[in-house]
Structure 1
């Protein structure tokens, strides 16, 4: 009887990279690439239809945290799927956020073909042979911060639940703009602004928008996001 192959889906907004990873993974007789997706929505839909064994998931696609959002939603419905994050560089905070969403490992986009194949196999067989110390440290850290609403990791996890519009409003408020000014800039009615504010407060699990801003600012979220943006612009 033929051994079951590891069914893999690749998620990246660049089709050329998807083809590259497919070529790399297809060199292993144990792996079968069953699909490719190019944004978070496609990843969720194709996961539901195909239920692959392993997903290679890019983080930044249609939004900065599209891959993290998709990871969280996919694993909520299909917890047996193993998700490995594709990342350009080893930024601790983004990787922590990915693990918080349920990812089991990460691999650099510049990794060797052998390393990428090995990472997929390790995820499928639930082996942490590449970085066991890191995996152990992460598991302990996530347990410790689970209920710590002031932590940067927890804040990143909550912020990625916001829509792009809600994140833009939160950033504008952080910059010191008042709600009336934001309404004028975004051409929205005050009642629509109130709805956005209410949604932000609810998703961030706070009592009011002032508490949300305090939580986000104390966590250092915007500081680290600016650092990430600067690195991306330099690369």
Structure 2
């Protein structure tokens, strides 16, 4: 068994297997959008994919039950669509704490294409929402997104190492304001996308309404006290 600092122990072998499957699925997605094989090969691949789907569907958790590897208290979310190691949707973004905020690193392949050769603008929005929320958590805050504004200064290139940064700029009561940027790793001071988000902690009565049906992995009714989409943040720069 392995444990994050302050978190619940988890099965390291299961985590490795989930990560391996997530990596394989991301490779499959990339291959599927680049392939030029003929129609009969596509149909055969579709049949193989359905067979794998049937194997994975043989045992499933309800959507209100947290995955066994998740621990929201230390922000470990293995199927998060931005940073989850087990998600076929996630690049994934690697997020770490730095002085004053957080930094994310990612490389977005052809599955994330909008304009030819560049990242879809909606993907930039998805990534920045995640990173801004992670910055709030790193500052000891949390909340749900109530406003997200982006300025697209330049297109974000595909298949290029990216650096994402975010930091809390205002905090009062249940509300905090977080700003961030996207740039290439090769030119981190040349901003491609700039973002500003407002996050608000739900009132207690709404917290119960939003998350009251959530259970832990064993099925016990134990909604997390601080639910979040952000995943584990490394404490080292």
- Classify the TM-score, shorter chain: under 0.3
For normalisation by structure 1, the TM-score amounts to 0.27
TM-score under structure 2 length normalisation:
0.27
Greater RCO, 1 or 2 (C-alpha within 8 Å, sep 6+): 2
Point out the structure with the larger helix share: 1
Bigger strand fraction:
2
